[in-house]
Structures are given as structure tokens and as C-alpha cells.
Structure 1
Amino acid sequence: METMTSDRVLLTATGVRKIYRTGSVAVTALLDLDLTVCHGEMVGVMGPSGSGKTTLLNCLSGLDDIDGGRVVVDGHDLFAMSDAARTEHRARTMGFVFQAFNLIPVFSAVENVELPLLLVGRRSRDARRRALEMLDRVGLSHRVGHRPNEMSGGEQQRVTIARALAGRPAIVWADEPTGNLDSAMAGQIMDLLCELNQDEGQTIILVTHDFAIGSRVPRLIRMRDGRLVEDLHQRGLAAGADTDLHSG
């Protein structure tokens, strides 16, 4: 099945710069980076360690400040907002999937998924119903009452995906979402992300160092030294090609 995309722009980054400073030392992590992503796209970001992949995700989502440029997501200029407004916008329009899962240990799966909905003012009954719907969507309807330490790594990552999608975000950011999983479980998580993108048109931007994962995304961005050096539209890449994509 072809990925569902539209020509309606969801994200525009123009001339984005990010500089990290430690004492008198300044390191440029992003340098005059331009990027446009449309609704329904699934975009992979790859590159060597230190190339700026995670920094790109953090800056484009508004988790980190930028030192220059402009980022517009879903019609809102992120860095023209106050910190409070940007935080609220992020909570209502973005979902996040991280390598470390970041689940609350004392909460059950359904409680972890419904919590972000409650924090943005959803009624408890509605939040619980939506959380149960999403856990069923990711194949965990039989695990809704289990805590993280009672689930496998793959199951925990499915909970984080359900949590990220529960609020029907405009965009989902995934930072190394398969990094803590074995290859079989990583493949299953990638199957799920591709399915959500293809069947439901969910926009996903995925950071990965894994070439097998990067080869499955319809659009692959390659970074090096804080720059976007290639933007590929692909149906899949041959295994073993361009080993420079691997990070150490």
C-alpha cells in the first residue's frame, strides 16, 4: 500500500541554527538547515554520531531553543511563542516516542496512555476510552492493567506509541524507537509505525542509526556535521549500501 501523503505543508524549517556553548567553546550542531514536511509523510533521519539527528528532532519539535531561523508546525511559529504557549502547543499537536520508553513505573499501561490526555483537560471517561482504543490498536488490549516491569521491551514500546498517538497529534517524533530492542522486535515496531503511517496517514519523523530501519521509510534525510546533505524519496535501499549512514 502506498503511503498516504498530501501536498499540504505541516512543518517548515528555514535557516535553523543551533549552537552549544561550554565556556569559551562553541559547537554548531545545526547549520542553516531548511526542511519541509507535508501531512502524511514518514521521514527517516540518519547520519553518523554527532551529525545532529537528535538535535534536529529536539529543535523542530520545540523541545530545545534555536539560535537562528524559523520553525513553523501546523501553522504555528514555535519560537515566536512564549515558553508556556509552545509547551501547550506541543502537548496538543505532537506525540513523542523515545528509545528509553519513559513510562511511569507505578502506572499501568492504560494509565500511562491516558495521562497526557488528562493533562490537557480531557475528561477522565473520555481519556480512559481513548487509551483503551489505542492499546487495542497496537495489539495490547490484553495488557492494559500491566505495569511496565511486567511487560517486554517490545510491549513497553507499543505502550509509548499508543501514548504518542492517543491525542491524535499532527506529528509524531520518534527518536531511536527501536534502539533498545532486538532485531525481531524492532521489525515489529517498525511494522506498526509503517502501518499507522500508511493506513491512517499519521505524519512521523523518525531518527535512527539502523540502516535496516532507514531503508523502510518512504523519505530518508541524511545528515552530516549539522547539515542536511541528502533528501531521498525511496521505496527501499539495498542492504549494505553507503555504510557511512551507520553511527558509532
Structure 2
Amino acid sequence: MNADRELLVATGVRKIYRTGSVAVTALDDLDLAVRPGEMVGVMGPSGSGKTTLLNCLSGLDDIDAGRVEIEGRDLFAMSDAVRTEHRARTMGFVFQAFNLIPVFSAVENVELPLLLVGTRPHEARSRALAMLDRVGLGHRVGHRPSEMSGGEQQRVTIARALVGRPAVVWADEPTGNLDTTMAGQVMDLLCALNRDEGQTIVLVTHDSAIGARVPRLIRMRDGRLVGDVRQNVPGGAEAAADLSRG
């Protein structure tokens, strides 16, 4: 995709949660555009709509009004089945809770999304091994999640998110379950993937130290965007030295 054209365009997005007679507007006519290769952080107080924004822009949740386009395709003009397949083929997800399958090894967790979209087993295994090596876990491919540290588990999650070569990776509090050292290493990796490989990443965080490291920072309050700034960040964290640790 041409870098001059937006990868993601959200226009007038509204999301309302209803409980009985009570209606809470979580997203209030929100507009946002993200270009290919951007790394965007989303910050705001609890309840500001950060995770709802991620879920709606990725099509995990329905919206009540507006339009969301990824690579020119309107997510909510698709049927549920088509949207699910489109998400599997064009998006990767990194969650705070890792969401790894505990009985699967690292390589089995990473190759699973490829197998689900019909990739041949040999190719899926080869790509999974290569991606685990890329995130510094080439020596841990046969280990199950319970045999790995939190930082290693999150790097498996990142490898799983990237193995399908997605247009965009959505990361919801990716360092929230990690101590400061491991959180820094995971951010090193995400920054390196964005800087060196042009991976588009949209990252929700409550941590101001994490927010300070992204080139573009969006701030939310009460379901609206109240800030959108470009930040001068270092040329990238020194990820390579730390990838094999954690």
C-alpha cells in the first residue's frame, strides 16, 4: 500500500453500551486516520474508551454509527463471517493477558493462525520458527507457556500476531502484566519491528513511559479524541541486545 494513503480511516464512529434504560456513549462520533508504517499510542484515563476504540476499529465489536475502513474496505459492510476472515488475514492482536494456548508449545501457538486460514503445515511451521527467531525465542520453540517468563510469553504473542504478515497489529496494554524490565524489552521489540520493518502498530496503554516512546500519541477522554501529537522519539530502542533475555 502507498504510504501516502491511509491504511485505516474511521469516520463518525459511535459506540453505545446499553444496560436496561441506561445508555453510555463509549465512542462519540470519533474520527481517526492511520497511515501504513505508523506506530500510534492511545492513552487516556480509565473509562475514556481506549479499549473500546481498539475493539471497534478492529471489528471485534460492532459500532452504532459511522464507518471504519481498513485498506479501503468497510469493515461493517461485511457479513460477520467475512469480517472474521478479513480480520484473521489482515490483523494481528497482542493482549495484556497473552491468551496463549497452555498445552501448545511456542511454535504451535505461533503457527496456529496460519493453519486456521489454510496455510500448508510445512510452510506454517517454517514461518512460525522464523518469527520466533526474529523475536529472540529461537531457543524456546518447544517450550509451553508455563515454562516461560512473562516477557517470553508476550514475545510469543507478538510472534503470533506478526506471523500472518498483517496490515496492522493491535496491542491492548501489551506490557500491563510485566515488570519494568520486561515491559521495556517488549517495547524495544515493538519499536524495532515498527522502525526496521515498517509494521503498523496501534497500541493502547495507561503507562506514560510507554506512551513517551511512540512516534504518534493520541489522547482520549469521554469517548473523544482530545489530543493527537507527533513526538520526537529516539531512533529506536536497542532491541537487539535484549531480545534473547527476559
TM-score bracket, shorter-length normalisation: over 0.9
Structure-2 residue corresponding to 1:74: 71
Is 1:146 aligned with 2:143?
A: yes
1:85-234 aligned at under 5 Å gives the runs 85-234=82-231
Residue 8 (structure 1) shift: 2.2
Q: Using the alignment, how far apart are the partners of 1:201 and 1:190 within structure 2?
A: 15
1:169-202 deviation line (CA, Å, top 9, x unaligned): 0000000000000001000000000000000000
Query: Which residue of structure 2 lines up, in the alignment, with residue 246 of structure 1?
Result: none
Deviation track 1:199-221 (CA, whole Å, cap 9, x = no partner) reads 00000000000000000000000
Gaps in structure 1 of 5+ consecutive residues: 238-248
Distance 2:231 2:163 in 1: 29
Q: Does 1:16 align with 2:17?
A: no
Deviation (angstroms), 1:75: 1.6
* TM-score relative to the length of structure 2: 0.94
* Structure 2 Cα separation of the partners of residues 224 and 9 of structure 1: 24
TM-score, normalising length from structure 1?
0.93
The alpha-carbon deviation at position 74 of structure 1 amounts to 1.3
Q: Using the alignment, how far apart are the partners of 2:217 and 2:4 within structure 1? A: 18
SS in 2 for 1:142: coil
Backbone CA RMSD of aligned residues: 1.0
Query: How far apart in 2 are the matches of 1:75 and 1:163?
Result: 25
Q: Alpha-carbon deviation of 1:77?
A: 0.2
Aligned-partner Cα distance in 1 for 2:229–2:45: 17
Residue 83 of structure 1 corresponds to: 80
Corresponding residue number in structure 2 for 1:29: 26
Task: Count matched residues.
Answer: 233
Amino acid corresponding to residue 86 of structure 1 in structure 2:
R
2:118 aligns to what SS in structure 1? coil
1:46 equivalent among 43, 47, 57: 43
Mind listing any 5+ residue stretches in structure 2 that lack a counterpart? 235-246
Q: Which residue does the alignment assign to 2:243?
A: none
Question: Is residue 64 of structure 2 the alignment partner of residue 55 of structure 1?
Answer: no
Query: Partner amino acid for 2:131?
Result: M
SS at match of 1:188: helix
Q: Give the partner amino acid of 1:115.
A: L
Q: Secondary structure of 1:169's match?
A: coil
For 2:34 and 2:147, how far apart are their aligned partners in 1? 38
